[in-house]
């Protein structure tokens, strides 16, 4: 292990300590267990069993290879716990922490065989979820100084939605709906199939209970006027240029929460936030975020 990797951890960020509720172990275990079963196959880790003595012990450190935001340490810990409860996992920089290249975020110690067996699964989750958190944090930083909050969408990896939405929170973002059953979101195809904006919203109101919100997507100011005539809790302005979006915010005038979506990138987010929207949603922070590179270095 390099001298850089051995340096003491920096203080965790305020976000990591104060704003991020931990992911319940019960929710993290199924995808981690599935990943381990996929990796172990029908014969187990034949390489480790062949070359590493059963009584060998080791200590290893999870080290960041480049700057970013940590997320998914609980998945790494879960992988090792499932393989051998005797392993000791120690978190040094918790999820939500900003890290630099060379920072040690956690250590694992105990029998060497399960450490080696769980290494790839642990790193896969840590690198992927930290990538989601890192890209979210970039967008959050881009809209700094404005009231707009960055949120995710349902464009998630199948089977990993809960984990990826957690990673968005670790990056300082907030979550949109989790699935089709926790909020009404009327999109363009719904409007066509329902016969128009008014019948779509009125149909939704007849169906839902008092705790369910109604959001509807609009592409033009003309559609927006139709929505305002009927009313909605949230209006999603999709692919509107900033000048049009500013007009939409002014026209809504606080009658509904305003969300913007479409072509959201760090270089465009500030101009969109400056229009006065409440939320900015981006699907790529979950489905296309590059992994944040971590290594597991044996001492």
Say whether both 282 and 156 belong to one domain: yes
What is the chain's mean pLDDT, rounded? 94
Same domain, 260 and 131: no
Q: Tell me: the pLDDT tens digits for 82-98?
A: 999 999 999 999 999 99
Does one domain contain both 174 and 151? yes
Read off the pLDDT of each residue in 52-63 and give the average, rounded to a whole number: 98
User: Among 13-27, 29-43, 110-124, 241-255, whose mean pLDDT is lowest?
Assistant: 13-27
Cα separation, 73 vs 76, in Å, equals 5
The whole-angstrom separation of Cα 204 and Cα 32 is 37
Give 258-275 pLDDT, tens digit per residue.
999 998 999 999 999 999
Contact by Cβ (8 Å): 282, 139: yes
Clarify whether residues 45 and 151 are in a common domain: no
Q: Contact, 70 vs 170, CB < 8 A?
A: yes
| 7 in a structural domain | no
**How confident is the model at residue 1, as a pLDDT?**
34
279, β-bridge pairs: 149, 259
- Rounded to two decimals, what is the model's pTM? 0.92
Tokens 């719904």, residue? 190
The total number of structural domains in the chain stands at: 2
Residue numbers annotated as active site = 120, 155, 187, 217, 238
Which CATH number covers residue 185? Answer: 3.20.20.70
* Same-domain pairing of 185 and 164: yes
123 and 161 within one domain: no
Clarify whether residues 73 and 205 are in a common domain: no
Residue 125 clears pLDDT 50, i.e. is over it:
yes
Same domain, yes or no: 188 and 202: yes
Q: Is residue 227 part of a domain?
A: yes
The residue range of the domain holding 275 is 145-287
Co-location of 233 and 188 in the same domain: yes
Say yes or no: 155 and 277 in one domain: yes
Q: Is residue 2 part of a domain?
A: no
Query: Is 223 found in the same domain as 183?
Result: yes
């Amino acid at each position: 292990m390099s001298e850089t990797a051995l340096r003491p951890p920096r203080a965790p960020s305020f976000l990591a300590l104060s704003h991020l509720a931990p992911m319940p172990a019960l929710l993290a275990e199924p995808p981690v267990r599935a990943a381990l079963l996929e990796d172990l196959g029908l014969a187990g880790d034949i390489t480790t069993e062949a070359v590493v003595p059963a009584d060998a012990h080791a200590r290893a450190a999870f080290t960041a290879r480049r700057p970013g935001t940590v997320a998914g340490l609980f998945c790494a810990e879960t992988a090792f716990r499932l393989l051998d409860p005797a392993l000791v996992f120690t978190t040094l920089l918790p999820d939500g922490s900003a890290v630099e290249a060379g920072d040690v975020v956690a250590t694992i110690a105990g029998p060497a065989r399960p450490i080696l067996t769980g290494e790839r699964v642990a790193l896969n989750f840590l690198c992927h979820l930290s990538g989601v958190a890192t890209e979210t944090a970039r967008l959050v930083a881009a809209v700094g100084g404005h009231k707009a909050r960055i949120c995710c969408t349902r464009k998630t990896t199948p089977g990993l939605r809960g984990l990826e939405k957690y990673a968005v929170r670790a990056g300082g973002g907030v979550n949109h709906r989790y699935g089709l059953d926790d909020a009404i979101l009327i999109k363009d195809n719904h409007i066509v199939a329902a016969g128009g904006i008014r019948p779509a919203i009125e149909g939704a109101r007849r169906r839902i209970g008092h705790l369910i919100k109604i959001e509807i997507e609009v592409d033009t100011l003309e559609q927006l006027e139709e929505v305002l005539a009927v009313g909605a809790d949230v209006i999603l302005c999709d692919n509107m240029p900033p000048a049009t979006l500013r007009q939409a915010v002014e026209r809504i005038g606080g009658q509904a929460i305003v969300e913007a979506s479409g072509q959201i990138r760090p270089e465009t987010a500030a101009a969109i936030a400056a229009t006065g929207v409440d939320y900015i949603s981006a699907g790529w922070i979950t489905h296309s975020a590059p992994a944040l590179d971590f290594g597991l270095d044996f001492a």
